[in-house]
Amino acid sequence: MISYEFLTTQKIEEALNYLDKFSKVHILAGGTDLLVNLYKESPRLPDFDYLLDISNIPELKIINSINKFIEIGPLVTHSRLINEPLIKNNFPVLMEAAYTIGSTQIRNRGTIGGNIVNASPAADLLPPLIALRAEVELTSRKGKRVLPLEEFLAGPYKTKLQANELLTKIKIPLLSDNYYTDFQKIGRRKALSIARLSLALVTKIDEEGIFQDTRVVPGSATPYPQSLPVTEEAINGISIFQINLEEIGKITSNEMVSITGERWSTPYKKPTIAVLIKRALERIIKEAKTNE
């Protein structure tokens, strides 16, 4: 059995003080990953002496629209992402991804901050958040720093969060009207399903129908979610009327394998990631054509 001291607070300031004062503190938000790992005594758990429960800090539950950014508190649950008009209207891709997480019960407890900090290769929110160029605000008693999410992730189940830091905000820049997004996921069943493979696509289509600023981020495809620059570059500059989806699919497959090497799951994932990028592009192209 893992033993620890339990700390709780309703104030960010106090949480930061705890992080400063004590060492080996693990943070509890929604608990959907942590409690399972505690029960299992998972080797993935770091060694810790204190469990700091931040779930009662109201400031961390706010969703706001400020200066061309949507700011999301890390304690915002997946269910709120699905139902919040600010998210639904601005980042449907995030809403779609949140909807595929676990079950109703898990979505009611699990948080966006937890999904980020746990940094699972299969985390459903990471691909859309990276594709949306989300930034994370990290606060300690010494001050704040802001990092692009993609930079914040350091490896499978690893981030650059310092021991004295708390994730206090997720900031997503608003997209202009000519941006399109899509999320695809394959699971072994329809709910309570860890992504076998997922993919988020965010891209701009200009007045001429040319792809620009494309971001492609798969989940469960690479050791931890990261964008696929080769694929992105291959799509940028091409017209929606001329794009060769087969070819893009091949590029995406090859790029994934160039990152992961041949693994036991490659025979399945190599063809299916091509399918996901094709489907995402097809859906976006169709939407763009209807909007014309």
Partner 1 sequence: MVYSKVNKPIIRVDAYEKVIGKAKFAADLYFPNMLYGKVLRSKYPYARIVKIDIEKALTCPGVEAVITADDIPNNEFGVIVQNQQVLARQQVLYIGDGIAVVAAETKEAAAKALGLIKVEYEELPGIFDPEEAAKKGAPLVHSELENNQVVHHRLRKGDTERGFAQAEVILEREYTTQFVEHAYIEPESLVAVPYEHNTLVTIYGSIQNPFSCRNAVASVLKVPLNKVRIIQNHMGGSFGGKDEVMSSMAARAALLALKTNRPVKMVNTRDESILESYKRHPYKMKYKVGATKEGKLAAMEIKCLADSGAYACQTPFVTWRSVVQATGPYELPNVKTDTYGYYTNNVYTGAMRGYGSPQIIFAQESLMDELAEELKMTPMELRLKNIYHNNSITASGQKLDNHQVSLEEVINKAVEASNYKDKYREYSKPQSGDKKRGIGMAISFRGCSLGAEATDAAGAIVAIQRDGSILISCGLAENGEGLKTVFTQIAAEELGVDIRRINYMEVDTSVSPESGATVASRSTILGGNAVKNAAHQLKETLAEIVAAEFKIKTNNLDFKNENIYEKNKNQKIISFDEAITLANQQGIFLSVYGWYKAPDISWDEENGQGRPYFTYVYGCQIAEVEVDTATGQIEVLKMTAAHDVGRAINPACLKGQIYGGVMMGLGYGIMEEVETANGYIKNTNFDEYLIPTVKDMPEIIPVIVENPDPHGPYGAKSIGEPTLELGAPAIANAVAQATGKRIRHLPLNLERVLLGHSLSKGGTKK
Which residues make up the interface to partner 1 (CB under 8 A)? 1, 36, 103, 186, 188-194, 196, 264-265, 267-268, 271-272, 275-276
Token code pair at residue 14? 């106090």
Separation of alpha carbons 93 and 73, rounded Å: 18
In the complex, the smallest distance separating the C-beta of residue 105 from partner 1, rounded to whole angstroms, is: 12
Per DSSP bridges, beta strands 5-8 and 50-53 are parallel
Residue 27: strand pairing partners: 52
By beta-carbon proximity to partner 1, the closer residue of 37 and 178 is 37
CB of 193 to partner 1, least distance (A): 8
Q: How far is the CB of 288 from partner 1 (least distance, A)?
A: 21
Exposed e or buried b for every residue in 217-238, given b needs 16+ CB within 10 A?
bbbbbbebbbbbeebbebbeeb
Closest approach, Cβ 186 to partner 1, in A, equals 5
Rounded CA-CA distance 206/212 in Å is 7
Nearer to partner 1, 204 or 283 (CB): 283
User: Which is closer to partner 1, CB of 136 or CB of 276?
Assistant: 276
Nearer to partner 1, 59 or 282 (CB): 282
Rounding to the nearest 10 degrees, give the CA dihedral for residues 172, 178, 179, 181: 130
3-state secondary structure (DSSP) of residue 113: helix
Q: Name the region of 46 (left: φ>0; alpha: ψ -120 to 50; beta: rest).
A: beta
Cβ proximity to partner 1, 76 vs 122, nearer residue: 122
- Cβ of residue 170: shortest distance to partner 1, in angstroms? 26
The string of DSSP letters for 182-195 reads EEEEE-SSSSS---
Chain centroid, CA 219 distance in Å: 9
Of 164 and 220, which CB lies nearer to partner 1 in the complex structure? 220
| Closest distance to partner 1 from the beta carbon of 136 (Å) | 27
Of 38 and 86, nearer to partner 1 (C-beta) is 38
| Cβ atoms 247, 281 nearer than 8 A | no
Q: How far is the CB of 272 from partner 1 (least distance, A)?
A: 5
Q: What are the helix (H) ranges across 138-228?
A: 149-152
